[in-house]
Amino acid sequence: MESDSPFTYWVRHGETVWNVLGKYQGNHDSPLTALGRQQALISARFLRRGGIRRLYTSPMRRAVETAAVFAEVLGLSEVRADDRLREIGYGQWEGLTQEEVRSRWPEQLRAWKRAPHLAAIPGAESLQLTRARLLDFSRDPTHWSKRDDGVAVITHAGCIRLLHLEQRRTGLAAFRNIRVPHASIWPVAMARHFQSSAAPILNKEPSTCASQ
């Protein structure tokens, strides 16, 4: 790990209405639940002493609402939205429950569960394309130019999984093996090459639904 690498914290958004209903969200959206806002508050308070001076967020509503809680708790006046941080697009599955998907695309759903890096979800963004835009954001030196800047990034479960796999030099086949609970915090040292811990530092109860 490079000694002058600034530390960042990647955070999943809080629980949403569609999470409770078990719907795939992707690039569609729903608001945080009361529990989701409480999850965001707990995580933001956890980072209050983390020296966070910059806050980035996915432009999705659930992430923006989570970031607003962080900004208030951390005393930050600016939140920077970046389209590269949005969730994986699930195409025609968005807005549907897993049972609804199974009834229409049983073979594709089976492939998604067994080999997600090879699955062909109708109209969806591939894991490879999502990873490429995340790496483009993560390697942008303008984000990490100040050594004393702590950075928090509010994003989605799929994005955190992909970044974590990249850091561990693990193939995309393991995508579904990583559990990313709502509002969990994942520390990452940004450098020329990624380095991170093997697990989040704040890991809440997992979501009970299959969607992201």
User: Which of the residues are catalytic?
Assistant: 13, 87
What's the residue count for the chain? 212
- CA neighbours closer than 13 Å in the CB half-sphere of residue 176: 14
Which of 173-179's residues contact partners 24+ apart within 8 Å by CB, and which partners? 173/115, 173/116, 173/117, 175/116, 175/117, 175/127, 176/113, 176/116, 179/206
Determine the 3-state secondary structure of 185 from DSSP: strand
Contact call for residues 203 and 39 (beta carbons, < 8 A): no
In this structure, what token pair is assigned to residue 105? 């695309």
CA 145/CA 140 separation, integer angstroms? 9
